[in-house]
């Protein structure tokens, strides 16, 4: 008989709800949960090392069903910190009832004995592995290890929180082989359809850029062909791209791109797909009331859209993703918290009014468009690829690209 054929008969007593012969679900207080489910970061650091053999067995089990966290620079390791901050904000009630974390999926190679009333035992001998939700588990451990550090000293602000009063939901697969557990890992990560990131961001009610985008789209009106219309009629909400025959001007994601760079400036070009909270703004902005930031940004972008409604309506270069990013970063320089503000005499709308907006290869080729050998122009360069050059072109009329996109340069050449 394999050691893993032996049922778990002692350990931490819990109550669970049976889903199947090999699966149950339950909740446990965070203190006990973290005591019996090892920190993946610690297991990865010390497992199979010469200095400490306590983690060898669990490291071997984990390696059979999980990927590595990796070093501090890996995407999974970076997510741990972000997840810890998210957990802390929820624990402290900062996110209200709209705060949620999924159950952590555990694997126990040994079968559990579950009585009719749901009573069972969870092993405390290093035999529980997270096959899904490992980033969350690692973040919980990060919080627990730093729970006594005050926020002013670099902690998470949970120094007065009792982990024995917090609960963690879990599902546990037990008495199945490593091959079967690995299949669950595969199915959870590859069989589901990933949610489009821009769609997920559009549902974040705490994200500053999303809040401004929704307010702008839902409340702004524009004059089209002499008629006052709602801007929302011309914004594509559910898709990432606009078809060639669509009557829409741009996507909600495109609007949000412009808002992110308006809030953050040039540095926001690389963050157009990230959350934007007050803590992400510069020190000048943090000194302002949040509502004042929202109002000033909304007013500036309202002025932009009203001034260039015709250019948006005819889907000139102004609606290209890189241009939207550059536009926002240019608008940022006119806001009160800009690190590199325009001189007082600069009229931003006048500066942008000099730009030749039609999708002309002579104007935009090499800036945010690619001119093919046959003369066709493609606009595949995204905000992050071409946003910086476009920002330079829009905000600095004396630069080579600034002259290239302006009517004066082409009229002079003519």
How many Cβ atoms are within 10 Å of 12's Cβ, its own excluded? 15
105 contacts 133 by C-beta, under 8 angstroms: yes
Query: What band does 189 get if pLDDT is binned at 50, 70 and 90?
Result: confident
Residue ranges per structural domain of the chain = 3-192, 199-413
Q: Minimum mean pLDDT among 106-115, 228-237, 361-370: which range?
A: 361-370
Query: What band does 47 get if pLDDT is binned at 50, 70 and 90?
Result: low
Give percent of the chain above pLDDT 90. Answer: 59
**DSSP summary character for residue 222:** E
Please tell me which residue, 203 or 331, carries the higher pLDDT value.
Answer: 331
pTM: 0.67
CA proximity to 357, closest of 400, 402, 320, 311: 311
CA proximity to 233, closest of 213, 216, 247, 254: 247
CA proximity to 176, closest of 283, 20, 52, 320: 20
Extract the runs of DSSP E, i.e. beta strands, from 197-312: 221-224, 227-230, 235-236, 250-251
CA–CA gap between residue 403 and residue 393 (Å, rounded):
7
Please tell me which residue, 401 or 3, carries the higher pLDDT value.
Answer: 401
> Within the chain, how many helices (H) and strands (E) appear?
18, 13
CA proximity to 316, closest of 258, 363, 252: 363
Residue 3 has pLDDT above 70, yes or no: no
Residue 262 has pLDDT above 90, yes or no: yes
pLDDT value, residue 77: 74
pLDDT value, residue 315: 93
Average of per-residue pLDDT values in the chain:
87
CA–CA gap between residue 414 and residue 412 (Å, rounded):
5
Give percent of the chain above pLDDT 70. Answer: 88
């Amino acid at each position: 008989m394999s050691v893993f054929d032996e049922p778990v008969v002692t350990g931490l007593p819990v109550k669970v709800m049976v889903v199947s012969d090999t699966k149950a679900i339950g909740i446990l207080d965070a203190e006990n949960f973290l005591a019996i489910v090892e920190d993946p970061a610690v297991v990865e650091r010390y497992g199979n090392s010469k200095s400490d053999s306590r983690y060898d067995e669990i490291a071997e089990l984990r390696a059979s069903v999980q990927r590595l966290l990796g070093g501090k620079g890996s995407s999974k390791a970076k997510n741990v910190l972000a997840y810890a901050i998210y957990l802390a904000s929820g624990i402290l009630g900062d996110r209200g009832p709209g705060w949620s974390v999924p159950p952590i999926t555990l694997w126990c190679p040994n079968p559990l004995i579950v009585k009719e009333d749901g009573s069972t035992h969870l092993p405390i001998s290093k035999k529980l592995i997270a096959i899904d939700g490992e980033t969350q588990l690692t973040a919980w451990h990060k919080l627990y290890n730093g729970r006594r550090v005050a926020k002013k000293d670099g902690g998470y602000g949970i120094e007065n929180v009792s982990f024995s009063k917090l609960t963690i939901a879990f599902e546990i697969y037990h008495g199945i082989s490593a091959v079967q557990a690995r299949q669950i890992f595969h199915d959870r990560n590859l069989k589901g359809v990933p949610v489009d990131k821009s769609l997920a961001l559009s549902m974040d009610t705490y994200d500053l850029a999303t809040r401004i985008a929704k307010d702008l789209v839902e409340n702004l009106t524009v004059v089209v062909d002499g008629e006052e219309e709602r801007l929302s009629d011309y914004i594509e909400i559910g898709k990432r791209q606009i078809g060639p025959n669509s009557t829409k001007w741009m996507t909600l994601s495109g609007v949000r791109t412009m808002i992110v760079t308006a809030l953050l400036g040039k540095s926001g070009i690389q963050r157009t797909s990230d959350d934007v909270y007050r803590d992400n703004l510069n020190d000048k902005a943090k000194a302002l009331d949040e509502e004042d930031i929202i109002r000033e940004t909304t007013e500036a972008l309202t002025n932009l859209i009203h001034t260039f409604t015709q250019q948006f309506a005819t889907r000139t270069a102004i609606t290209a993703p890189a241009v939207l990013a550059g536009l926002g970063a240019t608008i940022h320089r006119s806001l009160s918290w800009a690190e590199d503000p325009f001189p007082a005499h600069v009229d931003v709308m006048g500066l942008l009014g000099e730009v030749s907006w039609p999708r002309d290869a002579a104007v935009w080729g090499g800036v945010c468009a690619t001119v093919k050998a046959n003369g066709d122009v493609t606009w595949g360069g995204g905000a992050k690829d071409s946003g910086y050059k476009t920002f330079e072109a829009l905000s600095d009329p004396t630069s080579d690209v600034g002259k290239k996109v302006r009517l004066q340069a082409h009229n002079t050449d003519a």
